[in-house]
Amino acid sequence: MPRLALLVVGMIVCLVVPQATAAPRTYEIPNTQVLDLHSKETGADYQLYVATPPGYPQPGKTYPVVYMLDADYSFALVRNVVQHFVEREDLPPMILVAIAYPGAAEDRNLYKLSRTRDYTPIFVREGGYGLEFQKVSGGAPKFKAFMATELFPFVEQHFATDPSDRTIIGHSYGGLFAAYVLLTQTSLFKRYVIVSPSLWYSDGLAFQMEESVAATGQPSNVNVFLSVGALEESRMSNDLRTLYDRLKARNHPGLKLDIQIFDGERHDSVFPGAVSRGLRTVFEALGPRPNAGPSPIPGP
């Protein structure tokens, strides 16, 4: 091919084929950081995924803190949902702290072992993920103590937080842990977003706890959002409705309680919508729903 023709072809290729201007880069979520924290209470190492609001910090200003379990799937999702609403003044600026297990994102067995250990209230030999994982079950009391005596002071030392305004988000086993805290040491959090909690654990232990603490006045002065997917097993929605009805009937002073059954959602798909609705509910960024109260529970 003549030299001129080669030159023309080369020019055409340069015009048609996009040219990379720089090497590909890893996307990083703005205003986030990862901190390491070892717990004497549980003996475990944790990583904290932290997101601060735009413009943080501001002199003299403190922020509510939202604590998330199951950090590897909750953190980025919740952070983006919250920023979307904060930018539109549908939620107040807040600090997000997700509790992660080093290595669990790449090791499914480590993930199962860690959450079984930390999120279940008592040891149960069978159930859950199976015998191999249940052997470490029952560590929720220690994990709760870790949060109260180690995690909260650590976060409050490093960030401009409002210690009186904490929220917890938990899903599945994480929802079981959030319900356990609600029923045993309510004041640890001001707001609870409890999604598809495993209330079946240990033959409905959560309901035994609810009965035993009813006389103590717990819970009170908290905002609670309960949710489950309509396509989950019927025991999930029935158990949640039972917990809602029992708490409602107690007439606990200051308890603000809402429940929502998400149509068309399963156990693994309900979390995004529940977080979006739940945070706006417990922060009272929504007006009362028409026909307020629980959505109908589907039959078996």
Domains and CATH numbers, the chain: 48-101+150-282 (3.40.50.1820)
Give pTM, 2 decimals. Answer: 0.89
Q: What is the pLDDT along the chain (300 residues), one digit of tens a residue?
A: 555 554 544 555 555 555 657 899 999 999 999 999 999 999 999 999 999 999 999 999 999 999 999 999 999 999 999 999 999 999 999 999 999 999 999 999 999 999 999 999 999 999 999 999 999 999 999 999 999 999 999 999 999 999 999 999 999 999 999 999 999 999 999 999 999 999 999 999 999 999 887 777 777 789 999 999 999 999 999 999 999 999 999 888 889 999 999 999 999 999 999 999 999 999 997 755 444 444 444 433
Q: What is the CA radius of gyration of the chain?
A: 23
21's CB contacts (< 8 A; 6+ apart) are none
Structure tokens at 90: 């549908």
Structure tokens at 26: 């890893």
